[in-house]
């Protein structure tokens, strides 16, 4: 869902009012939303079947897992397509914060692991 939020923000910031004319991106976005809702419904149904002990609930769980895996893969591909289309550059914020700290402190001070912290 974080990627979906990022994609929506990127689409709105880039296209604004002209987003209605970008049919390819809207189609990809609708496929992602469709897959998310379908996975939600499938997992809810399989979970209910398993919790109340319906016959063949293990088969239903296996089908739900297989469908969810396929739909998640398709959604990931669609989101990557949209992100590439809008030229979004992804950075890992943790790595960026570590890099900023190293620059701020003028290097990485190595300490012995047996030194006391107090």
What is the mean pLDDT, run by run of 10 residues, along the chain of 118 residues?
72 74 83 93 92 89 94 90 73 68 74 64
The CA-CA-CA angle for residues 94, 82, 33, to 5°, reads 95
Looking at residue 63, what is its pLDDT? 94
- CA distance linking residue 4 with residue 76, whole number of Å: 10
Half-sphere exposure at residue 78, Cβ-oriented, CA atoms within 13 angstroms: 21
- Provide the H-helix boundaries in the chain: 2-15, 23-52, 57-85, 93-105
Q: Residue 100: how many CA atoms within 13 Å on its side-chain side?
A: 6
The model's pTM is 0.64
């Amino acid at each position: 869902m974080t990627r979906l939020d990022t994609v929506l923000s990127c689409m709105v910031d880039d296209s604004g009012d002209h987003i209605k004319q970008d049919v390819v991106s809207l189609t990809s976005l609708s496929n992602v939303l469709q897959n998310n809702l379908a996975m939600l419904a499938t997992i809810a149904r399989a979970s209910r079947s398993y919790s109340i002990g319906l016959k063949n609930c293990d088969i239903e769980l296996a089908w739900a897992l297989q469908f969810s895996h396929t739909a998640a893969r398709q959604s990931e591909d669609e989101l990557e397509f949209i992100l590439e289309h809008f030229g979004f550059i992804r950075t890992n914020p943790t790595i960026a914060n570590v890099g900023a700290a190293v620059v701020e402190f003028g290097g990485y001070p190595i300490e012995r692991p047996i030194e006391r912290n107090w």
